[in-house]
Structure 1
């Protein structure tokens, strides 16, 4: 019997295989009930170009209230886009890690797009 996590990782594997074929930078996200994390990973899959998370002091200072909500995810999205542009990355493939494109995941993606990241 598959657990909920096994099902999510199975969905993630399919998307990551497609992104690998494209050979693009990928915006990979991870969410827990309390935090959300985002990182830009190079096509060679050996290096992280930029990252942002609700656990970082400078990001957490901009968040009012809980770190596990849509508003916090939007702040992380805009921060990851800013850091990616500083590193010279403008276009990425969105790797949602098998999570539904809904709620915090959608908020992070929309904020990153608004801040100038293309995917």
Structure 2
């Protein structure tokens, strides 16, 4: 395997090892070069409750504003499903930039993590 891929998988495993999976739903983040994907996963049942992405976000805004709005929309959808607390799973990504903007938007929307 590629050394960069091995390092990325190791970081993600270390991040996920810090919290107890299954105790609360998990807000998982995936970042590509162009878009950001976020989904809330129920690890007890092994299903994705819902997912959102910036690909369908409104144009005319900066990418950071789109991502913050995505976090707020995610929190609103979670509230409709009766979720108040989630575990923020940033995977192998640093808590910086787009990942941080998503987390701040979700917190502004009312999610607790």
Q: Do both proteins adopt the same fold according to a TM-score greater than 0.5, normalized to the shorter chain?
A: yes
Large movers: runs of 4+ above 3 Å: none
Does 1:8 pair with 2:12?
A: no
TM-score by length of 2: 0.87
What do residues 50-76 of structure 1 show as CA deviations (whole Å, max 9, x unaligned)? 2111123xxx2x34256xx32221111
Q: Structure 2 stretches of 5 or more lacking a match?
A: none
Q: Distance in 1 between matches of 2:99 and 2:91?
A: 10
SS in 2 for 1:117: coil
What do residues 95-114 of structure 1 show as CA deviations (whole Å, max 9, x unaligned)? 00110000000000001001
1:8 Cα offset (Å): 2.2
Q: Structure 1 stretches of 5 or more lacking a match?
A: none
Q: Distance in 2 between matches of 1:72 and 1:15?
A: 26
Does 1:99 pair with 2:93?
A: yes
Q: Distance in 2 between matches of 1:65 and 1:6?
A: 35
SS in 2 for 1:98: coil
Aligned alpha-carbon RMSD (Å):
1.9
Q: Distance in 2 between matches of 1:18 and 1:45?
A: 20
Structure-2 residue corresponding to 1:89: 83
Count residues with an aligned counterpart.
Answer: 112
